[in-house]
Structure 1
Amino acid sequence: MKTIKLLGVFAFIALVGFTSCQSEENEQIGINPNAITPTSELAKKIKRTGMNDGAKDDFLDGNSCAELIFPIVATVNGLEITINNEADYELAVEIMDEFNDDDDTVAFNFPITVKLSDYSEIVISSQEEFEDLNQECDNASDNMESAISCAKVDFPISILTYDVNLEQTGTVVVESEQQLYGFVDDLEESDKLFSIKYPITVTLSNGTSVQINDDSEFEDALEECTAYEAEEELAEEKAEEVEGIVSKATFIVESFVTGGVNIAEDFTEYTIEFTNEEKLIARNTVNTALENIEGEYDVDSDTRVLLELDFTNETVFSALNNEWVVTAYTSSLLTLQSKTDSSIILELKKL
């Protein structure tokens, strides 16, 4: 839960290569009153779908404006590691996941090379330059100029170009996100307009594919997925707060309603400790000679905050084994609802 998503973008890229040709015989050459102006809001959204998304290494660099170029040497929580490929990310993840109540630190051995949202590569020579980059990313995110990564266009697609009189001048076949970004970016400096040849297919971040039949459907899909992405980011922030509340803390079962009956009394003799290694330890405070009941927990999120409890042995605590939705929380009380049965409610009170 320590990945921080910071979206961002840089404003310039040279035109990338694409294939341009005259319309095929079966395509009508003529006037299109619905051609998209390259400076319109829809064009800006389309351009953002083509930006380079550097989010996969956010847990290291803290921003999705920049994609780290291998090799990278970094000191993670005091341990120096060399990252030569994406598989080596696991080295950093294992160090960061050792404890869940510490503040992870990453210090790069500068200079490092990064690929920006516009696909250009720059060398970062110092921590100061790196912090300036992060600030630009924050500004881009605040100004809604960051990469849209929740909707991936299935390439290739065809784009029709038009002059200022709305007469078609040609067809461009776009085969990648980089080409899409470069195409729209180049048109911003011209007097041309464009129109996407529908239908196209867009794959959303949840893995589903949708057919898009016109500009309105495309814009709706982008707005819906960015709104969903914002919910995911907010839930992730809340999950970090919940993880901070439970880590190295001890709780009692304040209430446990299942089948319409509160059976919290089954747990009155026990406390539940959440360790900072994601372990659970249930202790009997009345009969201390009884063996502790152990388990594991995990805090996660989608658009909700999720708390999974898993006690390993078949005991009274097996009833708590569930993936719970955290419906409310304070520094001392968690209210949980079963992910699969909303009638099952669990409240944990911190001692």
Structure 2
Amino acid sequence: MKTIKIITAAASIAILGFTSCQSDDNTEIGTNPNANYSTSTTASNYERAAMNDGSDDDFLDGNACTELLFPLTATVNNQQITLLSSLDFSSVINIMSEFNDDSDSVTFNFPIRVRTSNYTEVTVNNQSELDALNQECENAEAQGKDAISCVDINFPVTMLTYDISLEQTGSVVLQSEQQLYSYMTGLESDELFAVNYPISATLSNGTEIQITSDAEFQNAISECMQYEDEKEDAANTAAEVEAVLSGTKFKVETFINDGVDTANDYAEWSLEFTNDLKIVATNVVNSALGEIEGTYSVSSETEAFVNVNFASNTALSALGNNWVISTYSTTLITLQSKTDASVTLAFKKL
């Protein structure tokens, strides 16, 4: 999950629906210490937080800087599908998740339309043009011009306006991210502003916070971006562990509960993790015992998890748990119970 968006070379969107008025409210004329220039860190923070978010469809276009517009048609893993709205994303995800050891492919039926980070709508005529947008997105991230999508400002927000002498010239009420983005990118060098705090914002973890200063907004951004980095790291871990497990046979190397290692109870069993999220356990000593089938799934939040499930009346039911991935390699995966850190399990590749 990426959290970047790009400022493209297209012209800024005009500010629509702003209200401006001369006012002495909430400030002392000529003495506001929080007035910011267009080149200030605060201006950059609000501009980046207000960019159009194109990250929800990254699993299709691989580009957090562009929002795909509907309708569009694409071929996903050799299956053609027409998307009329974001509600159709689930159909694409179902196709992609059918097997976990294949390489998912998406081919668009061009032309398609996208909305960029500065709210400009662009027609993309072929894969080369889409690749160029993806490269712009990567360049923006490398240059520190990426957007901040982990803080959603709750509108309306009022900006108090000043001249270079710090004399208040009025106020502007902004009703949306697009208006905020246009305001920030339209500031002239002799125009200053101060945010009329407090404002509220919703973080990507669902927490709503009150912000009372530019410094608090900067802190909120730093904290939520760290949270997003943790989520991305966990998602990468989950993907890598799923690739290690899929289509491979393992044995129980250790299973420690209450300080006792009971791995010997499972020494006769091999466990194959199939590419359709099943576990097929086979007794390698006594074939008459047949096979025991369970399921597994790999997921992530700010940690990565492997959920293992066997029916309660089987020889392997005790392995069922939601396990936190502790360490992993191509041959050994160590896990810890999500609810009891003293319970650990390790799978070793056969």
- Which residue does 2:87 correspond to in 1? 87
Checking the alignment, whether the CA contact within 8 Å between 1:18 and 1:172 is kept in structure 2 is no
- C-alpha displacement at 1:34, in angstroms? 1.8
Partners in 2 of 1:333 and 1:126 — Cα distance?
Answer: 44
Checking the alignment, whether the CA contact within 8 Å between 2:23 and 2:170 is kept in structure 1 is no
After superposition, the Cα gap between the structure-2 partners of 1:6 and 1:172, relative to the gap in structure 1 and judged at 3 Å, is closer
- C-alpha displacement at 1:196, in angstroms? 0.8
Checking the alignment, whether the CA contact within 8 Å between 1:8 and 1:138 is kept in structure 2 is no
Paired letter, 1:202: A
- Which residue does 2:179 correspond to in 1? 179
- C-alpha displacement at 1:317, in angstroms? 2.1
What aligned pairs does 1:331-342 form with structure 2 within 5 A after superposition? Answer: 331-342=330-341
- Which residue does 1:306 correspond to in 2? 305
Checking the alignment, whether the CA contact within 8 Å between 2:3 and 2:148 is kept in structure 1 is no
- Which residue does 2:347 correspond to in 1? 348
Checking the alignment, whether the CA contact within 8 Å between 2:296 and 2:307 is kept in structure 1 is yes
Partners in 1 of 2:215 and 2:38 — Cα distance?
Answer: 16
Identity of aligned residues (%): 47
Checking the alignment, whether the CA contact within 8 Å between 2:99 and 2:276 is kept in structure 1 is yes
Paired letter, 1:327: S
- C-alpha displacement at 1:13, in angstroms? 1.8
Partners in 1 of 2:23 and 2:315 — Cα distance?
Answer: 71
Partners in 2 of 1:344 and 1:57 — Cα distance?
Answer: 38
Where in structure 2 are there 5+ consecutive unaligned residues? Answer: none
- C-alpha displacement at 1:16, in angstroms? 2.4
1:9 matched to 2:3? no
1:275 matched to 2:274? yes
- Which residue does 1:169 correspond to in 2? 169
Partners in 1 of 2:191 and 2:337 — Cα distance?
Answer: 55
- Which residue does 2:227 correspond to in 1? 228
Paired letter, 2:4: L
Checking the alignment, whether the CA contact within 8 Å between 1:157 and 1:175 is kept in structure 2 is yes
- Which residue does 2:198 correspond to in 1? 199
Partners in 1 of 2:316 and 2:143 — Cα distance?
Answer: 48
- Which residue does 1:285 correspond to in 2? 284
1:294 matched to 2:293? yes
- C-alpha displacement at 1:114, in angstroms? 0.2
Partners in 2 of 1:238 and 1:341 — Cα distance?
Answer: 21
What aligned pairs does 1:16-31 form with structure 2 within 5 A after superposition? Answer: 16-24=15-23, 26-31=25-30
- C-alpha displacement at 1:21, in angstroms? 2.4
Checking the alignment, whether the CA contact within 8 Å between 1:271 and 1:285 is kept in structure 2 is yes
- C-alpha displacement at 1:296, in angstroms? 1.2
Aligned residues: 347
- Which residue does 1:125 correspond to in 2? 125
1:329 matched to 2:335? no
- C-alpha displacement at 1:283, in angstroms? 1.3
Checking the alignment, whether the CA contact within 8 Å between 1:6 and 1:63 is kept in structure 2 is no
Secondary structure (helix, strand or coil) at the match of 1:324 reads: strand
Checking the alignment, whether the CA contact within 8 Å between 2:54 and 2:64 is kept in structure 1 is yes
Secondary structure (helix, strand or coil) at the match of 2:289 reads: coil
Checking the alignment, whether the CA contact within 8 Å between 2:3 and 2:149 is kept in structure 1 is no
Secondary structure (helix, strand or coil) at the match of 2:264 reads: helix
Partners in 2 of 1:258 and 1:168 — Cα distance?
Answer: 68
CA RMSD of aligned residues (A): 1.5
Partners in 2 of 1:27 and 1:86 — Cα distance?
Answer: 42
Q: Deviations 1:303-337 (Å, cap 9, x if unpaired)?
A: 22211111134324222221111111000000111
